[in-house]
Amino acid sequence: ARTYLVTGAASGIGKATADRLRAAGHTVIGADRTADPAGDGNPNGNGDSDSDSDGHGNGDGVAIAADLATESGRAELVDRARELSGGRLDAVIACAGLAHFVPDTVRVNYFGAIATLEGLRPLLAAGTAPRAVVVASVAAVHPSDPAIIEAAGAGDEEAAATAAQNALDRGEGHLIYSSSKAALARWVRRAAVTDDWAGAGIPLNAIGPGTVLTPMTEGLLADPDLRKVVDTSVPMPLNGHARAEQIAPLLTWLTSPENTHVTGQLLFVDGGAEALLRPAP
Ligand code: NAI
């Protein structure tokens, strides 16, 4: 059995992934904005009843409450992860993300994700067959805002948040999400082949889901007009919208010891959306 840290574990893709890992006998330390120490709060329950009813939060539900939009939340994540894991993790699966048209979206999706990966890397280095993966999006190939991507790439969080606010002010708030994910995929590509990751024997990848049926997309898909916009920008000829349980297996494989040579990739799990949007890759 391995020890995994999963962010965004309270809901959607993160929750489905944590459930899958626990069902396979692994230990999962869940993190999210708010904790669920009993492991039975199940705020976005998908119907399965979490078997653990002993009331001990460690490794069940969401053990770590940390707001990844903030420096203090990111530090809290790393401190608590060190405590709960005894200083060693075998894998990190960073799912926490936000799709709102607000500057916080770039703080969480880019700076929060990178702080998660970099902050937990020393714990991974102490683990067995360590691996890491982060959830980007097929939106990484959508139109984006160069100013946000450039500031993110330079590691300047305040400039990135300002660029996001500027996009919002000129009516292009939708570019914040795609830009945060494009910047994230670029970071993964660069970082994966450095001494910190490849040199330390740690595969690091991103995945790019298409439209997944989670609380993040519920409201959009419930509105017929917005649903049309979503399905035009993310066309999914293979099997349509995915369930979170259909995304989880790729995350668990990429972070399993079986993955010895896949690194630095943005792997689309999108029913063909990226292939349609970008026929010449
Ligand atoms: P979700 O909304 O069900 O889950 C996201 C989780 O991240 C929530 O539990 C939320 O509390 C947590 N989170 C948000 N902001 C946070 C913060 N500041 N600090 C700590 N945790 C925070 O959404 P879903 O769909 O499961 O999303 C998971 C990842 O997948 C996200 O990164 C999202 O961008 C990405 N994604 C989702 C797609 C979809 O269609 N649902 C498509 C492509 C990518």
Query: What was the pLDDT predicted at 230?
Result: 97
For residues 206 and 211, give the distance between their C-alpha atoms in angstroms, rounded to a whole number.
Answer: 16
Domain count, the chain: 1
Q: Is 205 helix (H, G, I), strand (E, B) or coil?
A: strand
Query: Burial code of 208-226, b = ≥16 C-beta within 10 A, e = fewer?
Result: bbbbbbbebbeeeeeeeee
Query: What was the pLDDT predicted at 37?
Result: 55
Q: What percent of the chain has pLDDT over 70?
A: 91
Between the CA of 96 and the centroid of ligand 1 the distance, in Å, is 5
| Atom number, ligand 1, closest to the C-alpha of residue 94 | 32
Q: Taking a C-beta distance cutoff of 8 angstroms, is the pair 27, 4 a contact?
A: yes
Between the CA of 116 and the centroid of ligand 1 the distance, in Å, is 14
With a 6 A CB cut-off, is 96 part of the ligand 1 pocket?
A: yes
SS3 content of the chain, % helix, strand, coil (to 5): 45, 15, 40
Full domain range(s) for residue 140: 3-277
> 161-204: per-residue pLDDT in tens?
999 999 999 999 999 999 999 999 999 999 999 999 999 999 99
With a 6 A CB cut-off, is 13 part of the ligand 1 pocket?
A: yes
The answer, yes or no, to whether ipTM is higher than 0.85 is yes
Candidate of 71, 98, 142 to mutate for ligand 1, largest count of ligand atoms within 8 Å of Cβ = 98
What phi and psi values does residue 221 have, to the nearest 5 degrees? -75, -20
Query: What was the pLDDT predicted at 58?
Result: 38
Nearest CA to ligand 1 atom 13: 96
Query: What was the pLDDT predicted at 48?
Result: 40
Between the CA of 8 and the centroid of ligand 1 the distance, in Å, is 6
With a 6 A CB cut-off, is 274 part of the ligand 1 pocket?
A: no
> 205-219: per-residue pLDDT in tens?
999 999 999 999 999
Mean pLDDT of 66-71: 98
Mean pLDDT of 123-149: 98
Candidate of 19, 214, 268 to mutate for ligand 1, largest count of ligand atoms within 8 Å of Cβ = 214
At residue 111, what is the residue type? F
> 8-56: per-residue pLDDT in tens?
999 999 999 999 999 999 999 999 999 875 554 443 333 344 444 333 3
Nearest Cα to 261, choosing from 196, 205, 179, 189?
Answer: 205
Residue with tokens 């199940």: 42
Query: What was the pLDDT predicted at 36?
Result: 75
Provide the 10 A C-beta neighbour count for residue 174: 19
| Atom number, ligand 1, closest to the C-alpha of residue 108 | 18
With a 6 A CB cut-off, is 77 part of the ligand 1 pocket?
A: no
- Give me the CATH number covering residue 265: 3.40.50.720
Provide the 10 A C-beta neighbour count for residue 165: 14
Q: Is 208 helix (H, G, I), strand (E, B) or coil?
A: strand
pTM for this one?
Answer: 0.94
For residues 188 and 206, give the distance between their C-alpha atoms in angstroms, rounded to a whole number.
Answer: 7
> Across all residues in the chain, what is the average pLDDT?
93
Query: What was the pLDDT predicted at 59?
Result: 42
Query: What was the pLDDT predicted at 66?
Result: 98
Half-sphere exposure of 152 (CA within 13 A, CB side): 35
